[in-house]
Structure 1
Amino acid sequence: MRRLVHALARATAILGGFVLLALIVLTTLSIVGRSLNKFLHTDFFDTALTGLSQFLLDLGVGEINGSYELLEAGVAFAIFSFLPICQLFGAHATVDIFTSGLPDRVNRWIAAFWEVVLTAVIVLLIWRLFGGLERYYGNGETTLFLQFPVWWAYACSFAAGIVACIVAVWCATMRVMVAVQGRDLLPTDLGEH
């Protein structure tokens, strides 16, 4: 089971990374295009280089249409796709000022408790994400510029969220087992280095 959970978390994170890189390129090209379009509309280009300016504008130099819609959907997917690997390696932000002086046994139970709570929150989020997916699938709403169905973004995020749920349940189970056994969490238990 450990290998499957690790493979799912890593594959989802890699896919999310590729989506994030594509969004970075898309946003950069859109900003450069918009800036170049404004530059081509300056008095200098309008009067001195009218032919070149018009040629470039005819090529469609400008902001990428619908880039905001793609960015919005892609970032949502990236967030959900990084959640499993973050959960697996315990990379969420923690503050242990008050618990650092407590005995190890107490800290193990505290870690197990918060892992279970976080798992419940993730499951709740994904359940509500599924509710949004059903609603947008049912009403057929599309984005303004690109006209792609809004439910597509929800479906992609939901798929990554299912992986997050699987990883979270597995991590919570492992933390509780470690607390019950009264031993320290080994690097091989959850995947921590």
Structure 2
Amino acid sequence: MPALMEKLAIGWALLGGVLLIAIVLVTAVNVGAFGLDRLAGLFGGAVPGLPGYEDFVRLAISAAAPMFFPYCQLRRGHVAVDIFVSHFSLRTQRRLDRFSLLAIAVMALFLTYWLILGLGETYSDGALSRVLGWPEWPFYLPGIASLALWALVALTQFFKADAHV
């Protein structure tokens, strides 16, 4: 695996982790506000939750979740069914592995294509989040980059595996 691609996949996953930490912190603040609101309600007061909390979490998680796919592919961390494959010859196992790498790359590129179309439609519709009023189309960009990087990692593994068959 080229060092640059490995660093890119690792850095991308770390950035996804930063987004997840932000989601957790915002959620903790919102839950704390809910608890304080219940307590303040006993004394006739009120503590509002964060306005747009659901908007932020929905948009941030849609960006963060796919950011882990390239790293997972890099480490071959996806689910694999080895129960019956382990009884096949080494040559057959390698061919199945190569087929799965190519299938993953094709699937990731297919999803990238459809996500690009979705971005275009969301942009042309001028879709905004309900409470915060944020445009939704920019949150497609990390997903597109994630899926493209995932396909690139899988293709690199496919061509690297070519030498072993």
TM range (shorter): over 0.9
1:86 Cα deviation from its structure 2 partner: 0.4
Cα separation, 1, equivalents of 2:81 and 2:146: 27
Residue 133 of structure 2: aligned partner: 147
- Say how many residue pairs are matched: 165
Aligned mate of 2:68, from 76, 82, 105: 82
TM-score (structure 2 length as normaliser): 0.93
Residue 8 of structure 1: aligned partner: 8
Deviates more, 1:12-21 or 1:152-161: 152-161
Residue 158 of structure 1: aligned partner: 144
The letter of the residue matching 1:2 is P
Cα separation, 1, equivalents of 2:72 and 2:109: 15
Aligned mate of 1:67, from 53, 72, 78: 53
Larger Rg: 1
Give the fraction of aligned pairs with identical amino acids, expressed as a percent. 26
Residue 159 of structure 2: aligned partner: 173
Residues 77 and 156 in structure 1, CA contact (< 8 A), matched pair in contact too = yes
- C-alpha distance after superposition, 1:87-107 (max 9, x if no partner): 111000111111111111110
The letter of the residue matching 1:20 is L
Q: Tell me, what secondary structure is at the counterpart of 2:39?
A: helix
1:127 Cα deviation from its structure 2 partner: 1.0
Residue 89 of structure 2: aligned partner: 103
The letter of the residue matching 1:131 is L
- C-alpha distance after superposition, 1:109-142 (max 9, x if no partner): 1111111111111111111111111111111110
Cα separation, 2, equivalents of 1:165 and 1:62: 44
Aligned mate of 1:118, from 85, 100, 104: 104
Q: Tell me, what secondary structure is at the counterpart of 1:100?
A: helix
TM-score (structure 1 length as normaliser): 0.80
Cα separation, 2, equivalents of 1:78 and 1:140: 22
Gaps of 5+ in 1: 47-52, 180-193
Cα separation, 2, equivalents of 1:98 and 1:160: 31
